[in-house]
Amino acid sequence: MKKAKITFDRDFQVSRIDRRIYGSFIEHLGRAVYGGIYEPDSPFADEQGFRRDTLELVRELRVPVVRYPGGNFVSGYKWEDGVGPREDRPRRIDLAWTVVETNEVGLNEFCDWAKKAGTEVMMAVNLGTRGPAEAMELLEYCNLDQGTALSELRKKHGYPAPHGIKLWCLGNEMDGPWQIGHKTAQEYGRVANETAKVMRDIDPDIELVACGSSGSDMPTFGEWEATVLDNCYDNVDYISMHRYYGDSERDPKSFLANSVDMDRFITDVANVCDYVKAKKHSDKTINISFDEWNVWYHSSEQDKKLKPWTRAPHQLEDVYDFQDALLVGSMLITLLRHADRVKIACLAQLVNVIAPIMTSDTGCWRQTIYYPYWLTGKYGRGIALRTLIEAPTVETKKYGQVSALDAVAVYNDEAEELVIFAVNKDLEEDLALSADLRQFAGFHVLEHVTIQDEDLYAVNTEKNPDRIVPESSGASAVENGTLKTVLKHKSWNMIRLAAK
Ligand code: AHR
């Protein structure tokens, strides 16, 4: 059997993990809001029309933060359309997704939903068709206590207490030519800076995310970040990153190797941030909000056939397979390996639209990608440790030779647990993995959970929701201070060890 080794040390820490890296995203798009979280006519609806079954799964995922309301949608959105009496709310065209937006759900309802789901709201402002004035007004409406026109309007709408939203995105994907109100880096950098300044004047406690590139493959990537940050460095806290991967070529080796691109992308963005920091002789570090990441390609052809101007169509409804779960697992490992710079990340999205949770009239179910997201979010808490990997390689068309193993060790100092997340990307061969436990002497294996299947393309469906599920069947043991385990070919693994 091929051999691999990982080395880590309690004292060699990447960083304490910000729990917000397990965030997600709900956009007014397809059936994410209407039919996903809100469906007043459903037997699952609660007194406010929110689907109880979806809420239960979101709570199970313990999602710390949910980005809202877009996405491309936000760049044409008037937040005022979604507040006040429902019967007065306009039906609007949504140019981003060529659909009709009914505004039955707006920011107040979303904040209610977030409370029920036990999550925080990460709100995006429209810097496509709008600017600083409307962003100021939205913030006043959301966060000011009382005594001003818009805080009083919120109260009149039935929300006496401010929403206290702390995390704000300054627009969405403004580098993308598809974006409503698309801008050059210079144009966007100026608007982002002016918007950030006035928003901070209203509420000095907020954190602000400037738009970075929509992907590592954008022609403006690099220069975009440098120019944007040149304009707004002092007034923002994070730069965003977005990245989706697909496998229309049916080349699983290259597909599973996409974490290599994600890893480089993060390193490059951090380097550009630090270049601007050096240029400005600044003491401040800009960190990363990786606020859209996932696999996205299964629904692309289907979506081209959609009739325009309908309400909440089945849009971007990717049905995820087993290999998608492996890549999502690897992407989570990559985020953890960069926990020193990535402080926020959002799996895009949460319900129905490129999502871990799917709903129908008769209930909801967990897609394959649900499981690595759930388990990494649940157990990947504490401190990410520098994890050195020695492993055989896999030959790929897209990236050449890449490591067959993605792995990271996390030390949960509160629970006194050591957790290893690992993906064996080799499609045929198992890996015998060893790790010298050093200062983790006395730790023993609590469980070794795996997600493994012979069929890369197996999916969970409404009729067969448990085709791909995690199993506590991995073989791991500690022998003379060394963890010894076998990582099955094409498998996701979580090995938990504890002192007691
Ligand atoms: O998540 C789907 C879309 O992907 C978002 O609206 C946009 O920001 C990105 O291009």
In the sheet that holds 482-487, the strands lie side by side as 388-390, 2-7, 431-436, 482-487, 476-479
292 pLDDT band, cuts 50/70/90, is very high
Residue range 348-394, pLDDT digits in tens: 999 999 999 999 999 999 999 999 999 999 999 999 999 999 999 99
500 pLDDT band, cuts 50/70/90, is confident
Which residues lie closer than 8 Å to 87 by C-beta, 6 or more apart?
none
Kindly tell me if the per-residue pLDDT of 474 is higher than 90: no
What is residue 321's three-state secondary structure? strand
What is residue 251's three-state secondary structure? coil
Pair of tokens at residue 403: 């490591």
List, chain by chain if needed, residues with CB within 6 Å of any ligand 1 atom: 27, 70-72, 172-173, 214, 292, 348-349
Q: Can 429 be counted among the known catalytic residues?
A: no
**Cα of 183 to ligand 1 centre, how many Å?**
17
Residues 211 and 170 sit within 8 Å (Cβ to Cβ):
yes
Phi-psi region of 424 (alpha: psi -120 to 50; beta: other; left: phi over 0): beta
Q: Which atom of ligand 1 is nearest to the CA of 29?
A: 6
Q: Can 301 be counted among the known catalytic residues?
A: no
Residue range 187-241, pLDDT digits in tens: 999 999 999 999 999 999 999 999 999 999 999 999 999 999 999 999 999 999 9
Mean pLDDT of 50-54: 98
Q: What is the DSSP string of 438-452?
A: GGGTT-EEEEEEEEE
Residue range 131-181, pLDDT digits in tens: 999 999 999 999 999 999 999 999 999 999 999 999 999 999 999 999 999
Spatial distance between the Cα atoms of 489 and 290, rounded to a whole number of angstroms: 29
Spatial distance between the Cα atoms of 319 and 305, rounded to a whole number of angstroms: 17
Report the half-sphere exposure of 178 (CA within 13 A, side-chain side).
11
**Cα of 251 to ligand 1 centre, how many Å?**
24
Mean pLDDT of 18-43: 98
Pair of tokens at residue 213: 């590139």
**Cα of 70 to ligand 1 centre, how many Å?**
7
Sole residue written with tokens 């207490």: 161
Mean per-residue pLDDT of the chain: 97
Kindly tell me if the per-residue pLDDT of 266 is higher than 80: yes
Give the residue, by CA position, lying nearest to ligand 1 atom 9.
Answer: 71
Residues 18 and 390 sit within 8 Å (Cβ to Cβ):
no
Pick the catalytic residue: 140, 173, 225, 417?
173
In the chain the domains, ranked by start, together with CATH numbers, are 2-9+385-499 (2.60.40.1180), 18-379 (3.20.20.80)
